[in-house]
Amino acid sequence: MSSGKIHKPVTETEIVPRYSETDQGGIVHNSVYPIYFEIGRTELLRENGMAYSFLEENNCRMVVAEIQVKFRRPAYYDQQLTLKTECSNVTKAKIEHTYTLFRADTKLTVAEGKTIVACVDSKGKPMKIPDYLYPAG
């Protein structure tokens, strides 16, 4: 795993809702969107040569401090979606990510969101965001 800085602040991830993520009408349930956002953050880390296991090995655990979701239109079972995840701001205490989930075929936005994550050590004590999680340049 890399310990360099974040060189790619944006990624796109394909999402295909599973049956278990929908309600009786085949619409993706609102409780699933935070899971999709977590997938986006995981893939963004991966594209920057890191994984949560690397963070944990370096005594850094990322905890969600805030989450926002704005629902624009429904997403459906088995519909091809694209999740754009962007690391939009990093300070000494937090990392902000923004998300746009859209239909892959029409590019219509399904949902938009934002998370704020903080870093804590293995005992849950807040700590400074490690240098390697700041954008390069």
Question: How is residue 30 annotated by DSSP?
Answer: G
Q: Structure tokens of 13?
A: 């991830």
3-12, 14-23, 48-57, 123-132: segment of lowest average pLDDT? 3-12
For 25-81, write each residue's pLDDT tens digit: 999 999 999 999 999 999 999 999 999 999 999 999 999 999 999 999 999 999 999
**CA–CA distance, 34 with 37 (Å, rounded to integer):** 5
The domains of the chain are located at: 10-131
What pLDDT shows up at residue 62?
96
Q: Structure tokens of 15?
A: 């999402």
Q: In terms of Cα–Cα distance, which of 126, 117, 131, 121 is closest to 6?
A: 131
For 83-120, write each residue's pLDDT tens digit: 999 999 999 999 999 999 999 999 999 999 999 999 99
Task: From the options 3.10.20.30, 3.40.228.10, 3.10.129.10, 3.40.47.10, give the CATH code of 10-131.
Answer: 3.10.129.10
Asked if residue 3 has pLDDT above 60, the reply is: no
Task: Tell me if 76 sits within 8 A of 112, measured CB to CB.
Answer: no
The verdict on pTM exceeding 0.85 is yes
Q: In terms of Cα–Cα distance, which of 104, 121, 123, 124 is closest to 55?
A: 121
